[in-house]
Amino acid sequence: MSALLPGPTNAGYRGSPAAAWFLLLLGIGWVGPGLIHVFLPDGGAGVIAGIDLGDNPRALIGAFAWAGSTQIAHGLTMIAIALRYRPLVPLLLAISLIERSLLTLTGWVTKPPIGSHHPPEHYGSAILVPLIGLFLWLALRHKDSRTTPTGARS
């Protein structure tokens, strides 16, 4: 296993442990839907998202499976970083903030679905943007930033 994963670097992390735990939950939250998109017969497009599969269901189901594959890989990366490579937590949270902000923007503003129906992901992304922002802020705050090396408050 050491050939695949280098040794842990958690000792170098100075941010809030809550941010790393949030990233772990976020990663698990990525893997779950990814598995649904890859292994459900319709990728969840119809039965979960309520999307009309239209005249070319194979194309939409294929797109869901493709997205699910990337979700699984992305989620596993988040889990590994949260558990073993915590100095990278702020980077992954920043990337997630960009991604969720773009998903929210496209889902609600620039490319909303026709009609009033939004799939669950549109709501989830909108809720996650401020949460990810909060935990990114916590990850960037150094737990020892208010004290000097001698322990006196600065």
> Could you read off the pLDDT of 110-148 as tens digits, one per residue?
988 877 788 888 899 999 999 999 999 999 997 665 444
pLDDT digits (tens, 9 = 90+) for 22-34: 999 999 999 999 9
State the pLDDT confidence band at 152, using cuts at 50, 70 and 90: low
pLDDT digits (tens, 9 = 90+) for 45-77: 888 888 888 888 998 899 999 999 999 999 999
CA distance 63 to 44: 11
Say whether pLDDT at 102 is over 90: yes
Give the containing element (helix H, strand E) for 26. Answer: helix 17-39
Backbone angles phi, psi at 4, to 5 degrees: -85, -45
Determine the pLDDT at residue 150: 52
Nearest Cα to Cα of residue 63 among 29, 46, 38, 96: 38
Backbone angles phi, psi at 147, to 5 degrees: -125, 155
